[in-house]
Amino acid sequence: MTVMSVFNALSAIILLIVKNSVELSFFFLFFPLPYHFFENNDSILKLIVLWRIENMNTRIRVFVVFDLPKLFRMVLIASFSLVVFLLSSLPAHANRVMSMTLAELVDKAGQIIQGQVVDVSSGRDEHNLICTWTTVRIDDVLKGNIATETITFKQIGGKDEETGTINTMLPTKFTIGQEVVLFLYGKSKWGFSAPVGYQQGVFNLYKDMQTGESKVSNGMSKQVLFQETPFQKSRKAKYDSQKSSIQSAMKNCETLHLDEFKNSVRQLAALFSK
């Protein structure tokens, strides 16, 4: 049983039960479903399912808010517990994050910035979900329209400092003072965002010990970042029409020097905006 088949079966069940109460939007998250999410209100069940489906780099988020008798609530909780068990029993390779090239990272990002992390905090948002907020002081904008000096993005997961409750979905972690080139998804309707491809969308800045030059790395090999792979089918025609320009832009920054890297990211962003 694959992750996708489990997800399709689960989606069908939810859609049959709640029909018009379903809101679909795109996001990049997956977490086990803690029991306390289902018992925040005795009369209204706020059932939130955040999935990360990694086949074909597709990210899907499903939100469901509806009233149900307690019996149905318990049935759903038991059903989701079974699904979590089935997912955890899948082979390890089924749950790996898909490797993404630099071109794919640029294409998927709603915003790309260079900056320094100045604040990290956790707590509950207006929907009573435990979240983590990360604030980055912006030194340069490589993609997107940002007029502010800082940007704050919210990820699901973290710790409620007042109660000590920990959400088992751990966000991509940042530390104050960390210098990064950050590739962020656009905000969801509930205000969530996250680095593209988990840590793949976080390029840390560092000094070359021998030359003193500023460089960047997201921990992926150059063979992965600069491989010649087309995007998913919906982008393939556009990718093929600009293939030589994209490859040229990526080739210029294979050493990952900061300035060359930023120039290549800008070139790629400009190509994909056409």
**Residue 240 one-letter amino acid:** D
Mean pLDDT of 25-35: 36
Q: Of 62, 95, 128, which one is at a domain's C-terminal end?
A: 95
Nearest to 193, CA basis, from 108, 76, 107, 267: 108
Last residue in a domain, options 78, 95, 112? 95
pLDDT at residue 213 tops 60: yes
Q: What is the pLDDT of residue 78?
A: 61
Token readout for 96 is 């790996």
More reliable by pLDDT, 138 or 224: 138
> Which of 263, 265, 257 minimizes the C-alpha distance to 212?
257
Shared domain check, 228 and 161: yes
Residue 216 has pLDDT above 60, yes or no: yes
Q: Averaged over 214-240, what is the pLDDT?
A: 70
Residues 173 and 37 in one domain: no
**Residue 66 near residue 47 (C-beta atoms within 8 A):** yes
In the predicted structure, residue 83 carries a pLDDT above the cut 80: no
Q: Which of 197, 196, 130, 192 is nearest to 166 (CA)?
A: 130
**pLDDT in the model for residue 140:** 97
Q: Are residues 116 and 196 in the same domain?
A: yes
Say if CB 89 and CB 3 are below 8 A apart: no
Q: In what order do the strands lie in the sheet with 45-51?
A: 22-25, 60-66, 45-51
Handedness of CA 134, 140, 143, 149 (dihedral sign): positive
Amino acid at the residue 106: V
Distance CA 265, CA 262 (A): 5
Q: Are residues 219 and 177 in the same domain?
A: yes
- Length of the chain equals 274
Q: What is the mean pLDDT of residues 128-149?
A: 94
Q: Do 110 and 213 have their domain in common? A: yes
57 and 13: one domain?
A: yes
Question: Which amino acid would we find at residue 121?
Answer: S
Cβ 214 vs Cβ 238: under 8 Å: no
In one letter, which amino acid is 210? Q
The reply to whether 126 and 230 lie within a common domain is yes
Task: Give yes or no: residues 220 and 88 share one domain.
Answer: no
Mean pLDDT of the chain: 71
Segment 238-266 mean pLDDT: 73
**Residues 136 and 216 both lie in one domain:** yes
If one compares 134 and 31, the residue with the highest pLDDT of the two is 134
Separation of alpha carbons 78 and 69, rounded Å: 15
The count of domains in the chain is: 2
Last residue of a domain, one of 95, 130, 152: 95
For 110-171, give the DSSP string: SEEEEEEEEEEEEEE-TTS-EEEEEEEEEEEEEES---SSEEEEEEE-EE-TTT--EESSPP
Q: How far is 138 from 184, CA to CA, in rounded Å? A: 13
| pLDDT value, residue 57 | 38
Would you call 61 helix, strand, or coil by DSSP? Answer: strand
Same domain, 151 and 250: yes
Rg of the chain over all Cα atoms, to the nearest angstrom: 20
- Residue 231: what pLDDT? 52
For residue 223 the two structure tokens come to 């063979």
* Shared domain check, 112 and 89: no
212-111-48 Cα angle (round to 5): 125
Domain with 89 in it = 3-95
Q: How far apart are CA 22 and CA 35, in angstroms?
A: 21
169 in the same domain as 83:
no
